[in-house]
Every structure is written in structure tokens, then in C-alpha cells.
Amino acid sequence: MASGLEVRVPFSDHRILEYVFNVPWKIKFKGRVEKALLREAMSQYLPDKILHRKKSPYPKTHNPVYESIVNNMLHETMSNPSSILKDIIHTDTLAILQSSSNITWYGQLMGRPQLIAWLIQLDYWFREYNVKIV
């Protein structure tokens, strides 16, 4: 901005946000599909494969290899004596988390692999900055 250069993300335009904010939920979630209004608006421009794909946050976590990697990282993290996770996660919750079902945690954006990755990052942050819970 100091150089006069401004980057805009198309869906961050205030006019679009104001419009969408005022659209009734039943239109945005038509047919129990998230982003139904956007999907309908783009139906002429996108192939069905893109238009109807499942919403997925970054990183792409539908890959079993990714899930295996974060599971292994969690095991390594939990075996580290300085890991904060042992102090903040109940063991029965950890057992549920490590089960094979990919239940959703904290809304639609955090499935099991995302939560595991987030916990690993949280533990790293605690160790990197020497944060202690008192």
C-alpha cells in the first residue's frame, strides 16, 4: 500500500461481501450444499468436477498419505517429554482422535487430519517460544 500497489482477492470486494452477507441462509445453503449460491452462479463456467467437489481447506487432507504422515508426527510429538500435548489433551479424547474414523472437529473445516496437524503446530509453537502453562 505504501507503494500504491493494492492486491485484491475477488471475493473480498466489499460490494460482494455486503451482498452475500444479506442473502438469506436458505439460498446460500440450498439443497443442504455449502456455497450453493456461488456454485449456481458459476455453473455455466466450471466443469461439474470442480463445481460439485467437496469443500476442502488447505492442506488437502483427503489423501491417506497425508493422514499417515500427521499420525506418525503426532506419535513422535506425544513421545517427546517436553510436549505440551500430554498436559492439555485427555487420553480418552486422544484415543478418539487417533481412531480410524474421520469425524469432524470444530465445524466443517477441521477433520481429524487437520486437527492433528494443528495440535502438532501448537506443540511446536509452545516449544519454540518456551511457553509454559502455569
Whether residue 133 is contained in a domain is answered as no
pLDDT-based confidence at residue 102 (cuts at 50, 70, 90):
low
Q: Are residues 119 and 85 in the same domain?
A: yes
- Do residues 70 and 116 lie in contact, with contact meaning Cβ atoms separated by under 8 Å? yes
Instruction: Retrieve residue 92's grid coordinates.
Output: 480418552
pTM of the model: 0.53
What's the number of domains the chain is made of?
Answer: 2
Q: How many angstroms separate the CA atoms of 16 and 10, rounded?
A: 9
Question: Residues with Cβ < 8 Å from 4, sequence gap 6 or more?
Answer: none
- Name the residue range of residue 73's domain: 64-128
Q: How do residues 43-86 score in pLDDT, each as one tens digit?
A: 999 999 999 987 765 555 567 788 889 989 998 998 899 899 98
